[in-house]
Amino acid sequence: MAAATSRFTGRGSGSIIGGRLLLAVQPDALRTLVAGRPVTLVSGTNGKTTTTRLLADALLTRLTVATNASGANIAAALAATAAAPAQQLVLEVDELYLPQVLEETGADLVVLLDLSRDQLDRMNETQRVATLWRTALQRAARPPCVVANADDPLVAWVAEAVEHVIWVGTSDSWSHDSAACPHCGRLVRREADGWACDCGRRRQPPTYAAAGDTLQTPDGALPLALQLPGAVNAGNAAMAVAAAAMRGVAPADAVAVMEQVTSVGNRYRSYPVGDRTVRLLLAKNPAGWSELLPLLDRHSLIVIAINARAADGRDPSWLWDVPFEQLAGQTVVALGDRRVDLAVRLSVAGVDVVVADSLRAAMSHRPELGTVDVAANYTAFSDLASELRRAR
Amino acid sequence: VPGESRLRVIVLHPRLLGTYGDGGNALVLADRARRRGHDVDVVAVDGDAPVPQSGDIYLLGGGEDRAQVLATELLRGSGLVGVVQAGRPVLAVCAGLQILGHEFTDPAGVAAAGLGLLDLTSTRGAVRAIGEVVATPFDGLPVLTGYENHRGVTRLGPLASPLARVSIGTGNGDSGRTEGVVQGSVIGTYLHGPVLARNPALADRLLSAVLGPLDLLDDRLLERLRAERLRAAALSRHRGQWRRLASARGS
């Protein structure tokens, strides 16, 4: 009832208020609500929402699934999701909540995507998050099966805590947060066939791997023609296919479903605005932006929006870790609460930067370009998605 | 004379020391030198490569605890001592500052030997210092603005002088409300942001040590950023005071 009211009045997505009420009445609601149903958890710095969506869609071919599709991934939202009468739960979980949610749900399948710098005012250090995860897996009453990103040395170290690991090759290219081996502290070597450390740890041969437009699976190579763009989404799909296979969905069937997905939670969604088309894209941290920048259309007006609210992380220093030099010579409009921080960063990168106070002001630039790519971090993205929905 | 010689900026172990955007310090130095007509090389030193002695400005960034220990070991005997003894300008941020001192606390909570190039000792504080910092330099530079995210408490010995006095934030976390360090040609600070993007006068201090008197640049965008951050820091302090007052009344 509370959730229905909230949705009806248009305040918030509804799921968090419903979940908060539930948790206020019954603090261990999640534990009770799971009630013996199979639970899959998805966590990591980047790709949580997309991978969760791809996996849930694949599982839906065989079962009813409850999932927190809105990307609301904290305790209250998870409880609201678990209240749904579905055969299975697929939950996207915030990195810091994963230990608690693993304990409360007793999940038997955990998908670990990547760990890189993000919201450091809240996470403090990436290594700290890895240690929390590893400890949580070691303490699990019944250790889950882990679907692990083989290309991330931090995730590989976490996965050592369990016996049953499915390794997935994602071609994850961000290596700046795992320069030091999480086990021995030595320098991790980056080699042609992956990473390796003198302590003997190295990239494990993956059972599933995304490589261009094909997906390696135990059933052989499958063509992969996602509508979601970029290598990063091929990697997310590989992780989701591996997890779906653990739930009995054949890789070819999973891929067929995933190829139908055009946008996830408004990511990559296009909106007509006047006689222009606006495409909305999301990136939240240096690893995410590094994957996103090559996807921006150089023949569009490029708008970048940056906030630094609680959910974004209060410190946008990370803007200097993003290779914005790729946009040198390009006109880019800086938008969002921290548009001046962004503008300083872009100007040093050699970008022809304009500061705008609103989306409308941003859109007044380069009217001869029929398409606009708007790339934003988390809360800026949510605000712009609402604004574009209203404008339609 | 513009273009006559190349400015060499040496970035030490950016893979290990660069968690909080401190790589931006090299970008800002290069940008400010290029806009004044100088050619610039930014050289990264990684792995067990020796530290080149012919650099003009040396930079160390902040990093995670484990990476800090590894960077210290890689820098020991790497030639950085010669650089400091030769009086080359060095900017060391956060973990970089701690590495150059006598000792710091390692991830296991044990004192680890630093490089002993700065007369200071760092221990682990009770709480992590996270947030906007405003500090007034002792040597007449404009007020410093930055963001801190560390658990270090740094005490300066008699050979080291503090860079600034903290008015908002934690800085070194000592009883004197000091922030950072100046010793010889080395400047150390806890400020990220990165610090040179938010404090162009500090960047120019490093550049003028090499290039001599500098032309003025159009810094209107940077001044707008500085004004915005100083306002935000003052606001956050007032909010904090209000919260403390409210909770004191409530108890």
Q: Which residue, among A70, A87, A55, A66, has the nearest Cα to A16 in the 3D structure?
A: A70
Tokens (6 digits) for A350: 């050699």
Neighboring chain B residues of A188 at a CB cutoff of 8 Å? none
Q: Do A348 and B28 touch (CB under 8 A)?
A: yes
Q: Which residue, among B69, B72, B73, has the nearest Cα to B108 in the 3D structure?
A: B69
Q: How many CB pairs under 8 A join A and B?
A: 93
- Residue B99's alpha-carbon distances to A369, B20, B51, B73, in angstroms, are 51, 16, 15, 10
Amino acid at A294: P
Per-residue pLDDT of chain A (392 residues), as tens digits, is: 333 333 333 333 456 667 777 777 677 788 888 988 999 999 999 999 999 999 999 999 999 999 987 667 677 788 889 988 899 999 999 999 999 999 999 999 999 999 998 888 877 789 999 999 999 999 999 999 999 999 999 999 999 999 999 999 998 778 788 888 999 988 899 988 899 999 999 999 999 999 989 999 999 999 999 999 989 999 999 999 999 999 999 999 999 999 999 999 888 999 999 999 999 999 999 999 998 999 999 999 999 999 999 999 999 999 999 999 999 999 999 999 999 999 999 999 999 999 999 999 999 999 999 999 999 999 999 999 999 988 76
Neighboring chain A residues of B19 at a CB cutoff of 8 Å? 117, 120, 125-126, 177
Write down the ipTM of this complex. 0.94
Which candidate in B15, B127, B190 is best for mutational testing of the A interface (most A CBs within 10 A)? B15
DSSP letter for each residue of A276-344:
EEEEEEE--SHHHHHHHGGGS-TTSEEEEE---STTT-S-GGGGGGS-GGGGTTSEEEEESTTHHHHHH
- For residue B219, give the chain A residue with the closest CA: A344
Phi, psi of B60, deg, nearest 5: -125, 135
DSSP symbol at A98: H
Q: Do B67 and A179 touch (CB under 8 A)?
A: yes
Count CB atoms within 10 A of the CB of residue B94: 27
Cβ atoms of B97 and B131 within 8 Å: the answer is: no
Our CA angle for A169, A170, A175, nearest 5°, is 105
Amino acid at A143: P
Q: Which residue, among A191, A201, A210, A213, has the nearest Cα to A47 in the 3D structure?
A: A210
pLDDT-above-90 percentage for chain A: 75
Helices (H), chain A: 2-9, 15-25, 29-34, 48-59, 75-82, 98-105, 120-123, 126-139, 153-159, 230-246, 251-258, 286-292, 339-348, 359-363, 378-391
Among residues B13, B38, B94, B150, the one annotated as catalytic is: B94
- pTM assigned to the model: 0.87
β partners of residue A371: A277
Q: How far apart are CA A342 and CA A362, in angstroms?
A: 14
What H or E segment, with its residue span, contains residue A94? none
Tokens (6 digits) for B155: 């005490």
- Is the minimum CB–CB distance between A320 and chain B shorter than 8 Å? yes
Out of B27, B66, B67, closest to residue A320 by CB: B27
Which candidate in A174, A306, A318, A320 is best for mutational testing of the B interface (most B CBs within 10 A)? A320
